[in-house]
Chain A
Amino acid sequence: MTRTILLALLLLLGLAAAPFDVAPPAFAQSSNEATDRGVHPNPSRNPSATDEELMRVLGQERLPPDRVQGNVYLPDRKLGVLIQPQGRTWRDFRVTGTRWIHGILLGLAVLAVILLAVLRGRDRYRTDPEGRRILRFRAVDRFVHWMTAVSFILLALTGLNFVFGRTLLQPWMGDGAFSAMSLWGLSVHNAVGFAFLLGILAMAVMWVQDNLFHRVDWVWFRSGALFRKVHAPAEKFNAGQKLIYWGAVLGGLALGVTGVLMMLPISTVGVNGMQWLQGVHTVLAGLMIALIIGHIYLGTWGVEGSFEAMSRGDVDLHWARTHHPLWVEDAYGRRRPDGRFEPAE
């Protein structure tokens, strides 16, 4: 069937190509007739070959380096592109390159987590002797965080299926099951992407104030707090968390924009633009997945007590004073001279 369609297209191109140096075939349209029918050949793109030459070139296994072009009588000019050399580059990237990129990024993320676990260990804390807890994230903050997180995990799983599915899943799932799953995965990916984009936009607006970099963040970096169990002064978010925030917001917005544009195939950026969009989208997605793997580790096992901030909303007072002393003082007031901590309100 594909061969038949290709033959038909070749035939179309061959029939419609207006030769320079040979008499036109009996069925060829004159330029006036073509104009009357709404076909306006581009003067700067005149046919570069005769019918015979065009058909001979298209039949070759290796195409010549020069561009070969003719006329096609199709209202949609994009359909007149029979062979797009960039398409082969993109196909190689799509089939092979993305697997390597995602494989390396995922491997590096897992390696980094293992190194952190070995070098830094679990960051434990002593609970406040009086059991006091303070609010760290409001319900709306947690809602936005989990909406973004749940949608991102769904997007990552369905997206990774596009990259590794044919290699890892199709052989043991079978063609039919894998095809059905991938088709549904694409619909889920497209639909859930909007929830992710909404979450990212909400995060960008709600948390930007707390994630602006200040001088104290430089102190946090220099202390090596990411790799050692030292507790440098930090605001509501430490410098590492701020990096994750900006990575998630900027990366998420870029993923959203490229993703939405890819849902409008060809109509906005053309064929070559679509290939670039897909390339940028998949590389960014790999970087985001690696970033979020680190975030998940540090937010759960790596730093004890931090998961409660997003599961319950409040955190132990001693934990807060250990990890985010500047935030505690700023939000809840300084300690009294007698050493007791009392919230400002």
Chain B
Amino acid sequence: MRAFLLACVGVLAVAFGAYALLEGVLARNAGTEFAVKGSTRVSEADKVDPRGYLSSVHEPAGGVSSGRDGGRAVGGPAKDRGRPAEATEGKR
């Protein structure tokens, strides 16, 4: 059964090689590529909301801030929503 044991080693070797390639190098490259694409996609021109929010990241229910809200606090308590950021500092 030496051939069987060698075959088990062969399966492990190929599987680890494939795993390293798929989950390691390729996945990391794919992740980097996606991040680069994403950063290009999120641009000023993508704002379709006249209030200046990025529609793809703006969540009306609160809690998520696009970071491009022109100094207004998007998230946080409802009473602070729409007020200048400096007016809400230290309250969250």
Contact = CB atoms under 8 A, between A and B. Distances in A.
B87 interface: no
B15 A194 contact: yes
Nearest to A34: B48
Determine which residue in A139, A191, A313 has the highest number of CB atoms from chain B within 10 A of its CB, and name it.
A191
Q: Determine which residue in B2, B7, B45, B50 has the highest number of CB atoms from chain A within 10 A of its CB, and name it.
A: B7
A276 interface: no
A11 interface: yes
Interface string A3-46: 01000100110011000000000110100000001000000000
Contacts of A139: 2-3
Nearest to A73: B48
B6 interface: yes
Nearest to B58: A8
Contacts, number: 82
Contacts of A188: 15
Contacts of A194: 14-15, 17-18
A98 interface: no
Interface string B6-48: 1110110011111100110000000000000000010001101
Interface stretch (A82-90, A146-154, A230-238): A146-154
Query: Which of B8, B17, B48, B56 has most A Cβ within 10 Å?
Result: B48
Contacts of B46: 37, 73
B45 A37 contact: yes
Contact of B19 (A8, A12, A73, A187): A187
Contact of A26 (B18, B19, B50): B50
B1 interface: yes
B19 A143 contact: no
B23 A187 contact: yes
Contact of B16 (A27, A144, A150, A191): A191
A170 interface: no
Contacts of B11: 147, 150-151, 154, 192, 195
B55 A12 contact: yes
A146 B14 CA distance: 14
B61 interface: yes
B4 A142 contact: yes
A143 B2 CA distance: 9
Interface in A122-163: 139, 142-147, 149-151, 154
A66 B11 CA distance: 50
A26 B49 CA distance: 10
A27 B52 CA distance: 10
Task: Identify which of B8, B10, B16, B23 gathers the most chain A CB atoms within 10 Å of its CB.
Answer: B10
Interface of B: 1-4, 6-8, 10-11, 14-19, 22-23, 41, 45-46, 48-50, 55-56, 59, 61
Given A190-B18, A191-B15, A198-B14, 8 more contacts: A12-B56, A27-B50, A29-B48, A139-B3, A147-B11, A149-B7, A187-B23, A192-B15
19 contacts: A11-B55, A12-B56, A15-B49, A16-B48, A27-B48, A27-B49, A37-B46, A142-B3, A144-B7, A145-B3, A146-B6, A147-B7, A150-B11, A190-B18, A191-B15, A191-B19, A194-B14, A194-B18, A195-B18
